[in-house]
Amino acid sequence: MDTLIVFYQNLGLALSLLVIATFLLAGTIKGVIGLGLPTISMGLLGLAMAPAQAAALLIIPATLTNLWQLAFGGHLRTLIWRLWPLLLAIFIGTGLGTLWLGMVGGTWVVRALGGALLVYALSGLCLPTLRIAPRAERWLAPLCGVLTGVITSATGVFVIPAVPYLQALALSKDELVQALGLSFTVSTLALAAGLLWRGALGGGELSASLLALLPALVGMWLGQWLRQRISAVLFKRVFFIGLGVLGGHLLISG
């Protein structure tokens, strides 16, 4: 408790409110479309704090909401059997990226985060739905996994290229949501291991991350309620536009 209080005292009132509002918004978006919590969290918090600090805050909310997401759907065993090359490569790529790059801060990391967000937003808005032939999964899954892991280690964002890859597998709606949860869980755990190895994930950061879980869960519940009342297609379009603006700002301003 003392480390948690000290952590948020050091952040100050304005940044503490930003953390709460960010995870509430990110949880809401995840509740509606099944993804977006780490992406939104890193994008907004990256405006006001170092990427490594922002990444540490999302570890517990991202892990528990992803476990919640992958637990329901009834396809977990089948998905693990199909996706294990991707998941293993994500973990390896994150480890290699941690040793090679690491989330050490600086202008280039902020711009890399902005670039990752912008690419993801443009792919969601502009690219048609792709389809991957089963024979191509053998080499494409490890490649996408390693690239996702390296980007994760540098920016804390683990949607590129894993999400477009999963969307191209012609999974059912329930399978896709569960597959996203599985991929994000592995990415979050690999990111946590990398931050711990670099000394960026101590007791204060974990305590602060635990407190961020509450607004994330409230937001996720709110998002699931909203999902029944609005068009998911419209919401996703607005989400990608907002994400593109945020990514562009980070890319330009650094």
Letter for the amino acid at 146?
A: V
pLDDT by residue for the chain (254 residues), tens digit each?
445 555 555 666 777 788 889 999 999 988 887 778 888 888 888 777 877 788 888 899 999 988 888 887 788 999 999 999 999 999 999 988 888 766 555 677 778 778 888 888 888 888 777 788 888 999 999 999 999 999 888 878 888 889 889 988 988 878 888 998 899 999 999 988 888 887 767 777 777 788 889 999 999 899 888 877 877 778 778 778 888 887 887 788 66
Helix 2-11, helix 203-227: angle, nearest 10: 80
Residue 6: predicted pLDDT: 57
Residue 104: predicted pLDDT: 58
Residue 242: predicted pLDDT: 80
Which residue segment(s) compose the domain that 30 sits in? 2-253
Residue 8: predicted pLDDT: 56
Residue 10: predicted pLDDT: 61
- Longest alpha-carbon distance in the chain: 54
Structure tokens at 214: 């509450």
Number of structural domains found in the chain? 1
Structure tokens at 35: 């993804």
State the average pLDDT for the chain.
83
d(CA 146, CA 202): 26
Closest CA to 40 of 218, 208, 216, 182: 216
Residue 93's alpha-carbon distances to 23, 90, 107, 187, 224, in angstroms, are 27, 5, 23, 10, 32
Q: What angle do CA 171, 175, 181 make, to 5 degrees?
A: 120
**Cis peptide bond prior to 215, omega within 30° of 0:** no
Per the document, the length of the chain is 254
d(CA 158, CA 180): 11
d(CA 47, CA 43): 7
Element (H, E) at 208: helix 203-227
Structure tokens at 79: 């998905």
